[in-house]
Structures are given as C-alpha cells and as structure tokens.
Amino acid sequence: MTAKHPPIYEDPLAVLDAARVRTLMLVSGLHDRQWLGPRLDIVNPPLWELGHLGWFEEFWCLRQGRRECGSSLGNADALYDSARIPHDVRWDLPLPDAAATLNYVAAVRAAVNKRCVIHRNDADLMYFVQLSAMHEEMHCEAFTYTRQTLGYPRPPGSVTEPAPGAACAGDADIGGGRFQLGAADNGTFVFDNEKWAHPVEVQPFRMARTPVTNAQFAGFVDADGYRESQWWSRAGWAWREQADAIAPLYWQRVGDTWMRRHFDRTEALAPDEPVIHVNWHEAQAWCRWAGRRLPTEAEWEFAAATVPGEPGSKRRYPWGDADPDTNTANLYGGAGQCVAVSACPEGDSAWGVRQMIGNVWEWTADEFQPYPGFIRDPYAEYSEPWFGTHKVLRGGCHATRPMLIRNTWRNFYTPDRRDIYAGFRTCAP
C-alpha cells in the first residue's frame, strides 16, 4: 500500500500546529551564521523569517489586525512587519537571537491555543488561525528553497516515493467550452485572488500531457538557445544578459554530462524529471524555440478541473475531490524532490493530463490580475500590491503542503525569479 500524505485537517489549530512542526524542522541545525545568511534579493534571513511567522500569527489571531494593540514583544512591529520593513534592511535590524526568537514564536502559539479554547466558536478567530497556518506553510516552502539557494543540506524528513507510471507523452486534446474560472463561494477557505468563480469561454486547444523535462530543455541549451536573442522577448533577453545566464540555475556541465546542485550536493541531471528553477523568461524562450506556447490561466484550470461531456462540472483536484496522496500527486510528504514526469498516473485530469498538481509549479502566460469584482481580504498585502507586476503559476510543487493546493490556487512571482520550484508545460500554438 502506498503511504498517504498527512490528512488535510478540518481543525484550524491542528493545521497550525502541523505547520509549526515543519517550520522547526526546517530551521533545525542552523548555526550562528546561517541564521542570517548572505544578503540576497531573493531570500529573507531565516532568523527574521522565523520571527515574522510569530508576529503574523500574533497580529491576526491575538491583535485582530490592529497595530494599536501592542505586541508581547515590545518592538515586534518595527522588526517583523513585512509590509513596512524593506527587504534589504532585514539583515540590519536588532533582531533577537535564535533562542529568544524561538521563545517568542512559542509564546505566541501558546496564547493563540489558549484563546481558541476560550473562543472556539468565534468564526473570525478560526478564519485568522487558518490564515496563519496557510501563511506559515507558504513560508515553509520558502524556507525549503532558501536552503537550496544557500546550499544548505536537504531538509530532514521522511521520504515516500510517489506511485510510478508508464510513459506519458504527446498532447491531450482539450475540447474547450464555457466554464467557471476561480473558486466557488462554498464556505471553504480560499484567498482573495481566487474570488470568485466567473464565466470564461475557452477555445479548443492541445496541451502537453506532462511538464517539459530536463532532457527536452537541455536540447535548447545545447543548441545555444541562451546565446541567440531570436528566441527571447526584449525583456527576457535583457534579463539573460544582466544575469549572464547560459543554462538553468544550478546546472553545471561536466564533460558530456549535465549535472545540477541539489542543496549541498552535486548530482547527475535526471533526464525524465521536469525542468525546475527556470523563470518565466526562460520558459517563454524555450517555447519559441520549440514552436510551442505557455497555457493561459483559463486553459490551465479548464484542463485541470473540467470533465469532458459534463458541462458545468468542476473538480477540486484534477483527479476528483479526494484528498491528495502519493498515488495522485508529489507534494510535501512525498519524495522530497522532483520525480519523473510519468509518476502519479492516478492523478491525471479527466482530459488525461498528468501532474497538474505537485512536482513543479507551472508558469502560465498570464499576468497576475484580479478577477472581476475583486475585494481584498483583511490581509490586504497578500494579493493587491502585486497585480500587474507578477506572472501566474499553477499547481503546486514537491514542497507544497497538500492542504494548501487546489485547482483554483494562484501563485505569483516576478518573471525573473528562478530560485523557486517552478517549471512549465506547454500548449500547441
């Protein structure tokens, strides 16, 4: 029997506690210098990030989002409020040391637990507890790719290989049609950028059954794709020149073999795993070279969520409404890294498209924009500041907690980011 992922908890406190277990595991073993790490645009100091998790939970669950209500740590707002503290000064702040930071986040958690016992029927409190859990799990994913960025050892944790599958190649024919893009208002937790489902017409199209593999992307690299501007947009070529990129991040050529750095080790590149750590510009360049294109958001969600011959139907996951397990998706609790694009055949969508959830985040063609009638949630800084400057990714990755992901989830990053666990799949032109 294949091992299951941890259950998707209905109890918000259980979700919150599960996230904290993972956080503590991810920061375990860091020595003094690693708690701050180098000053980089793409990561936070782990010491700051840990304190920020405690601050966020305290701010929403104990202070009800009001800055006039003081923190239990006197200067916490001046240290950890990410909306007000520029990224590049976070290394210069008078942060408490690791022991004091761990004590702070533990004290906040104890106070939240106590408040939840007293106010267990407070719907607003339970919403903010769940928000804090989701927020912490997203930071757990960020801690994971931070360890990769900084060359720290692979995070500890059990590993369960997802179910293998037969080769899955070529395109699936997607019939298109009218469907509801976005999340339905059915009482489940979703973020403001998923709200609300609205009708969209999708024309018939053909989508690759799997993400682009390392072997497929290596063909572009070996054909000098990084040195020929014809494959790149103007912005993409400017990025490539500025970054002096000649291959995906962490790739190294050793003789005739492509190698890659995986945390603190160098290993041979697996040809049948999805290419990862490529940004939107790189994905677009490969598509131009290969005569393909990125899917739109609507196409991606249509292929993941709808069922042929069942107008109006929409699944929570590509395979249906059952919670993810290692038969259906490579998420957190599975392999701990990418697996072959043929794995997890039971997770195929109704159109026969594989791994739309898990393994790698997938870039889409679209700019991150609000849906019609957008109204921001109390956590105003989550979506609204990033509209118009970021690109949308879908589907989750091997470091995403199962309870976070669903077909309507919208991730978003700037098109130059390639430290994240992102790859892509393509459509026929």
> Are residues 222 and 251 in contact, defined by beta-carbon separation less than 8 angstroms?
no
Segment 277-298, tens digit of pLDDT? 999 999 999 999 999 999 999 9
The residue out of 93, 115, 149 marking a domain boundary is 149
Q: Are residue 137 and residue 97 in the same domain, yes or no?
A: yes
Report long-range pairs for 83-92 (Cβ below 8 Å, ≥24 apart): 83/381, 87/41, 87/44, 88/39, 88/41, 90/44, 90/45, 90/48, 91/36, 91/39, 91/45, 91/48
CA distance 333 to 369: 32
Q: Are residue 387 and residue 263 in the same domain, yes or no?
A: yes
The reply to whether 305 falls in a domain is yes
CA dihedral 298, 301, 306, 311 (to 10 degrees): -20
Q: Are residue 169 and residue 72 in the same domain, yes or no?
A: no
**What's the pTM value of the predicted model, to 2 decimals?**
0.95
The reply to whether 249 falls in a domain is yes
CA distance 398 to 359: 4
Token output for 150? 């900084």
Segment 369-414, tens digit of pLDDT? 999 999 999 999 999 999 999 999 999 999 999 999 999 999 999 9
What pLDDT is attached to residue 296? 98
What pLDDT is attached to residue 66? 81
At 405, which CATH number? Answer: 3.90.1580.10
- CA distances to 11, 105, 131, 224, 404 from 125, rounded to whole Å, are 13, 18, 10, 55, 19
Give residues with Cβ within 8 angstroms of 236, minimum separation 6.
Answer: 281, 282, 284, 285, 415
Neighbour count for residue 122 (Cβ, 10 Å): 13
Residue 216 binned pLDDT confidence (cut-offs 50, 70, 90) = very high
DSSP 108-157: HHHHHHHHHHHTTT-HHHHHHHHHHHHHHHHHHHHHHHHHHHTTPPPPP-
Q: What angle do CA 211, 217, 336 make, to 5 degrees?
A: 55
Q: Are residue 38 and residue 167 in the same domain, yes or no?
A: no
Q: Are residue 216 and residue 67 in the same domain, yes or no?
A: no
Q: Are residue 262 and residue 343 in the same domain, yes or no?
A: yes
The reply to whether 7 falls in a domain is no
3 state DSSP class of 386? helix
* Domain containing residue 84: 12-149
At 78, which CATH number? Answer: 1.20.120.450
Average pLDDT of the chain?
A: 94
The reply to whether 203 falls in a domain is yes
- CA distances to 3, 117, 215, 284, 418 from 220, rounded to whole Å, are 37, 57, 9, 12, 17
The residue out of 149, 172, 202 marking a domain boundary is 149
Q: Are residue 171 and residue 128 in the same domain, yes or no?
A: no
240 residue type, one letter: R
| Mean pLDDT within 148-164 | 87
The residue out of 149, 172, 189 marking a domain boundary is 149
Q: What is the CB-side half-sphere exposure of residue 359 using CA atoms within 13 A?
A: 33
Q: Where are the alpha helices (DSSP H) in 158-279?
A: 214-222, 234-243
Q: Are residue 424 and residue 344 in the same domain, yes or no?
A: yes
Residue 367 binned pLDDT confidence (cut-offs 50, 70, 90) = very high
Q: What angle do CA 221, 393, 170 make, to 5 degrees?
A: 55
What pLDDT is attached to residue 65? 82
Query: Per DSSP, which regions of 269-427 are E strands?
Result: 361-367, 391-394, 411-413, 422-423
The reply to whether 22 falls in a domain is yes
What pLDDT is attached to residue 144? 97
What pLDDT is attached to residue 7? 41
Q: Are residue 335 and residue 400 in the same domain, yes or no?
A: yes
Segment 36-62, tens digit of pLDDT? 999 999 999 999 999 999 999 999 999
Q: What angle do CA 77, 81, 83 make, to 5 degrees?
A: 140
What pLDDT is attached to residue 167? 86
CA distance 326 to 2: 7
CA distance 315 to 305: 5
Is the Cα torsion angle 150, 395, 52, 84 positive or negative in sign? Answer: positive
The reply to whether 6 falls in a domain is no
| Mean pLDDT within 221-226 | 98
What pLDDT is attached to residue 156? 84
3 state DSSP class of 55? helix
Give residues with Cβ within 8 angstroms of 186, minimum separation 6.
Answer: none
Q: Which of 256, 170, 268 is nearest to 214 (CA)?
A: 268
Segment 308-327, tens digit of pLDDT? 999 989 999 999 999 999 99
> Are residues 349 and 313 in contact, defined by beta-carbon separation less than 8 angstroms?
no
The reply to whether 382 falls in a domain is yes
The reply to whether 2 falls in a domain is no
Our count of domains for the chain comes to: 2
Token output for 285? 């360049």
What letter does residue 101 receive in the DSSP assignment?
Answer: H
What pLDDT is attached to residue 6? 38
CA distance 145 to 116: 32
For residue 4, pLDDT over 90 is answered with no
> Are residues 132 and 62 in contact, defined by beta-carbon separation less than 8 angstroms?
no
The residue behind tokens 């998923």 is 194
For residue 1, pLDDT over 50 is answered with no
What pLDDT is attached to residue 258? 97
Q: Are residue 86 and residue 117 in the same domain, yes or no?
A: yes
- Element at 172 (helix H, strand E): strand 171-174
3 state DSSP class of 93? coil
For residue 8, pLDDT over 80 is answered with no
Q: Are residue 168 and residue 133 in the same domain, yes or no?
A: no
| Mean pLDDT within 304-310 | 97
Strand 265-268 vs strand 411-413: parallel, antiparallel, or unpaired?
unpaired
| Mean pLDDT within 195-217 | 98
Q: Are residue 137 and residue 202 in the same domain, yes or no?
A: no
Segment 105-121, tens digit of pLDDT? 999 999 999 999 999 88
What pLDDT is attached to residue 3? 35
